[in-house]
Amino acid sequence: MTVTPGDLRYPVLCLSERAGIAVIRDAAAFGRSAAPLVWGARFYDGLRVVDASGALHEVVRAEVVRPGSAAGQAVARLFGTAVHVGVELRPVGPAALAELRARVLAEIDDDPEAVEEMTGRPPPWWREALERAADAGALVRATAAGAPGG
C-alpha cells in the first residue's frame, strides 16, 4: 500500500540520507523542491518522513517533472528554481522518538546552520523540543507551534 503527500498529517519532518533534515508544512510544499535538492543533493533518495501523527513513511517513488529542454533543466539547476516531484510513500509504522532524537542531534552536530535553514528552527529550539517531546508526533507537531514540545 502506498500513500501520497496529501494523505499525511502536517507538518512533517523529513529525514534525508543526503540532505539532512527538513520540515515541510503542507502537502503542496512536499512536491515542490529546489532544483539543487532534486538533482544535486538527491533529497528524495532514501527519504523517510514522520508526520504529525507520529507515523513513519518511506519514499518508494519520486518522479521529477523536469523542465522540457536541457536548457530549462540547466537554468533550474543554476538558479535553484522549483521543480515538481510526484511522490509515493509506504507506511512503515510508528516512528521511534529515540531514533529521531539521535538523528536530529547528529544533524545539529554536523551542520547547525543547515538545520536552521531547512527546518526554520535554531539548534537550541530543537534541543529543547527533543527534551520535552513525549513521542515522535509531539516533536513533529511542535515544529508548527510557538514553543517546543507543544
Per-residue pLDDT of the chain (150 residues; tens, 9 = 90+): 999 999 999 999 999 988 899 999 998 888 777 655 666 667 888 899 999 999 999 999 888 776 677 887 777 667 666 667 888 999 999 999 999 999 999 999 999 999 999 999 999 999 999 999 999 999 999 998 864 544
Cell output for 132: 520535552
Q: What is the pTM of this model?
A: 0.83
